[in-house]
C-alpha cells in the first residue's frame, strides 16, 4: 500500500469519527483563519468547502458523476439533495465506507477514472480534490466523453509544470493548454483562485501540531526515557519515526502556496 493511500484511509477514519461526515478534502474558510484553531473549526470548514462547490452547481443539473468519491460524503449529501449520483474511486477500502454510507443507492465504479467505462453519460462530472491524481489529458478526454453539460473541478494545481501534458499534478497553465485544444467543445464559465480561502486549513493543522501534539509527544517520550526503559525501547521501535516527525515544526501554511494554487473551475460543454 502506498503512503498516500494509507494517509487517505487514516483521514477517512478520522473525519468520520471526529466530524461525522468523512470528507477527505481540505477546509474552505471564506473569512480567513479562525480565532481558535480547533478540529471542530476544521470540520465546519470542510462542510463549507462542500457548500462552496454546491454554490456553483448550475440549475439544470440532475445527474452527477463524482470522480474520486472518497468515503462517499459528497455523494451522500448530493443524493439527499435530490441529485442522481454515481461514483468512481479506485480504492476498495474507501469504497467499502462509501457503500455503507450510500446504502446501495449509488453505484460505485471501482476503478481509476482513466480506465472508467460506461454506456451512460451525466449532466455534470465533479472532481472535488481528485483532479490532481488523474493524468491531465486523459482526464479531460474522459470528462468530455461522459459529461453532457458541465465539468466542475475543485482542486489544486502546481505552479511548475509536470512532465508532459498527460502527467498527473499538472500546472494550471498546462490545464488551460489542454482545455484550449478542446476549445470547440469546452468553454470555461468560472475559474477562481481560492488558495487564500483554503490555506487556513494548514494554519489550523500546523497550530494543533506545533502547540499541542508536539509538546505532548515530547513529554510522553521524556517520561518513558526517565522511568520506563523497556517501554521506551518499544516506543522507539514502533513509534520512533512518527515521534521524530511529530517533533518537526510544520509550516505548510507558508509552503503550500509557494508550490500550489487551489482553484474552483466550472466548464460547460458547447453545443
Ligand atoms: C483527497 S480524496 C478526495 C475525496 C472526495 N472527493 C472528497 O472530497 O472528500 C481523493 C480521491 O481521489 C481518488 N483517486 C485517486 N486516484 C484516482 C484516479 N486516478 N481516478 C479516480 N479517483 C482517484 C482517491 O481514491 C480518493 O477517493
Instruction: Give me the residue spans of the domains in the chain.
Output: 3-199+254-269, 202-251
pLDDT of res. 248: 79
Ligand 1 centroid from CA 35, angstroms: 31
CA–CA gap between residue 96 and residue 131 (Å, rounded): 21
Please state the pTM of the whole predicted model: 0.89
Ligand 1 centroid from CA 224, angstroms: 39
- Tens digit of pLDDT at every position of the chain (271 positions): 566 776 777 777 777 766 777 899 999 999 999 988 888 899 999 999 999 999 999 999 999 999 999 999 999 999 999 999 999 999 999 999 999 999 999 999 999 999 999 999 999 999 999 999 999 999 999 999 999 999 999 999 999 988 888 888 899 999 999 999 999 999 999 999 999 999 999 999 888 878 877 778 888 888 888 888 888 888 888 788 887 887 777 788 899 999 999 999 999 999 7
From 126, 133, 154, the mutation candidate for ligand 1 (largest count of ligand atoms within 8 A of CB) is 133
Diameter of the chain by CA atoms? 73
User: For the domain 3-199+254-269, what is the CATH superfamily, name and number?
Assistant: Vaccinia Virus protein VP39 (3.40.50.150)
The DSSP-derived string for 31-84 is: T-S-SS--HHHHHHHHHHHHHHHHHT--TT--EEEEES-TTSHHHHHHHHTT-E
CA–CA gap between residue 31 and residue 181 (Å, rounded): 37
Spell out which residues line ligand 1, taking CB within 6 angstroms: 8, 23-25, 67-70, 73-74, 88-91, 94, 112-114, 128-130, 133-134
Amino acid at each position: 500500500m502506498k503512503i498516500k493511500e494509507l494517509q487517505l484511509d487514516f483521514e477517512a477514519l478520522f473525519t468520520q469519527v471526529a466530524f461525522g461526515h468523512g470528507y477527505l478534502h481540505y477546509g474552505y474558510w471564506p473569512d480567513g483563519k479562525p480565532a481558535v484553531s480547533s478540529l471542530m473549526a476544521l470540520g465546519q470548514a470542510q462542510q463549507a468547502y462542500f457548500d462552496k462547490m454546491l454554490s456553483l452547481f448550475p440549475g439544470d443539473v440532475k445527474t452527477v458523476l463524482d470522480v474520486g468519491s472518497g468515503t462517499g460524503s459528497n455523494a451522500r449529501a448530493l443524493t439527499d439533495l435530490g441529485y442522481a449520483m454515481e461514483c468512481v474511486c479506485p480504492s476498495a477500502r474507501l469504497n467499502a465506507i462509501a457503500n455503507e454510507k450510500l446504502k446501495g443507492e449509488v453505484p460505485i465504479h471501482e476503478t481509476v477514472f482513466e480506465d472508467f467505462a460506461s454506456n451512460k453519460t451525466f449532466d455534470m462530472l465533479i472532481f472535488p480534490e481528485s483532479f490532481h491524481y488523474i493524468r491531465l489529458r486523459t482526464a479531460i478526454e474522459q470528462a468530455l466523453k461522459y459529461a453532457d453539460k458541465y465539468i466542475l473541478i475543485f482542486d489544486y494545481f502546481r505552479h511548475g509544470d509536470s512532465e508532459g501534458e498527460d502527467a498527473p499534478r499538472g500546472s494550471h497553465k498546462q490545464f488551460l493548454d489542454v482545455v484550449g485544444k478542446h476549445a470547440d467543445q469546452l468553454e470555461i464559465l468560472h475559474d477562481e483562485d481560492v488558495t487564500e480561502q483554503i490555506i487556513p486549513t494548514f494554519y489550523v493543522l500546523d497550530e494543533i501540531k506545533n502547540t499541542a501534539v508536539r509538546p505532548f509527544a515530547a513529554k510522553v517520550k521524556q517520561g518513558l526515557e526517565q522511568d520506563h526503559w523497556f517501554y521506551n525501547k518499544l516506543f522507539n521501535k514502533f513509534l520512533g519515526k512518527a515521534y521524530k516527525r511529530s517533533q518537526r515544526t510544520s509550516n505548510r501554511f507558508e509552503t503550500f502556496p509557494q508550490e500550489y494554487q487551489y482553484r474552483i473551475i466550472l466548464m460547460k460543454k458547447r453545443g
